Amino acid sequence: MKMDIAFGQYCEGNSLLHRLDPRVKIIITILYIVAIFMAKNVFAFALMLAFTVALVIMSRLSVRVILGGLKPIMFIALFTAVINIFFYKGDEPLVAFWVIKIYKEGLINAGLIVLRILMLLTATSMFLTYTTTPIALTDGLEQLLSPLSKIGVPVHDFAMMMTIALRFIPTLIEETEKIMNAQKARGADFSSGGLVKRAKAIVPIIIPLFVSAFRRAGDLATAMECRCYTGGKGRTRMNVLRAGARDFLFTFVIIALGAGVILINIYAPGYSV
């Protein structure tokens, strides 16, 4: 069994989105989420949709990757749609059958909500996972939250923990494989029997894995100490994040988008959610 996970499904690339400052991406994502929840009518949604499609094009990722990423949320989207279609009350039912009444408003509402869910997922994963490595994201978060360290929040420590966790995921996966093979060689059976039996079969994997993880942690702590690590104080970085013109431009575009959505909500007529 070869387990090779691409965490967060980062896709290698050099598009405009890839090159944005991770801090800016985090801020943009938050603004985007606010904007999409503010959108109230069809025209605002159209604007958001246009922007989201533009993002996809800009990222130069294949559409298959993006649609694949939407798969896990499809069930929830459909479920929400069904609930909205059957339970939304409008003026005049389009279809009335026994206790079921379907209204035109319900249909539109369902469509918009599904669209909102899909756009939300597309845009957030576009900014934060497809075009940003987990490590860049951690760096970005550390620097964004660094003012909090003044009031005693151990921001650097959390970021360091994240980095080390990310660093050791592949190592521990390899280790798991090794242990599983070693246990198989001793006659362990992981793939048959009921739920309880299978769960029990995992114990001889988990225990050695924990022991080894703790040993590694001890070794790593020693190695870090030997390399003069004394926590975040007085530490410099080789790669300093620097927001450039494109980062400011992008932030401006998102703010404009939010403003656009608000204006449409106020002035344009249309079906609203």
Partner 1 sequence: MENTIEVKNLRYIYEGFGDEPDVEALRDVSFNVEKGSFTVILGHNGSGKSTLASILCMLAEPTEGEVWINGKLMTGDTVTDEDIFEARRSVGMVFQNPDNQIVATVVEEDVAFGCENLGIPSKEIRRRVDSALDTVGMRKYARHSPHRLSGGQKQRVAIAGVIAMKRDCIIFDESTAMLDPMGRREVMDTIERLNSEDGVTVILITHYMEEAARADKIIVMNEGRVLTEGTPSEVFSDPEKLWEASLDVPQSTELLYRMRKAGLDVRLDIFDFGECADEIARAMSERRRENNG
In the complex, the residues that contact partner 1 under the rule CB under 8 A are 133-135, 163-164, 166-167, 170-171, 174, 215-216, 219-220, 222-230, 234-240
Nearer to partner 1, 135 or 262 (CB): 135
Min separation Cβ 197 and partner 1, Å = 33
Closer to partner 1 by CB, 167 or 198: give it: 167
- Taking alpha carbons only, the member of 12, 8, 20 closest to residue 253 is 20
CB of 224 to partner 1, least distance (A): 6
Contact 95, 101 (CB under 8 A): yes
- Residue 198 vs 215, nearer CB to partner 1: 215
Closest among 163, 170, 175 to 224, alpha carbons compared: 163
Closer CB to partner 1, 102 or 159, in the complex:
159
Minimum distance between the CB of residue 222 and partner 1, rounded to whole angstroms?
6
What letter would DSSP give residue 150?
G
Q: What is the rounded CA–CA span in Å between residue 121 and residue 101?
A: 31
Query: Measured from the CB of residue 146, what is the shortest distance to partner 1 in angstroms?
Result: 15
Residue with Cβ nearer partner 1 (194 or 234) = 234
| Spacing of C-alpha 206 from chain mean position | 28
Nearest distance, CB of residue 228 and partner 1, angstroms:
4
- Per DSSP, the residues of 203-268 read HHHHHHHHHHHHHHHHHHHHHHHHTT---STT---SS-----HHHHHHHHHHHHHHHHHHHHHHH-
Alpha carbons 205 and 213: distance in angstroms, whole number:
12
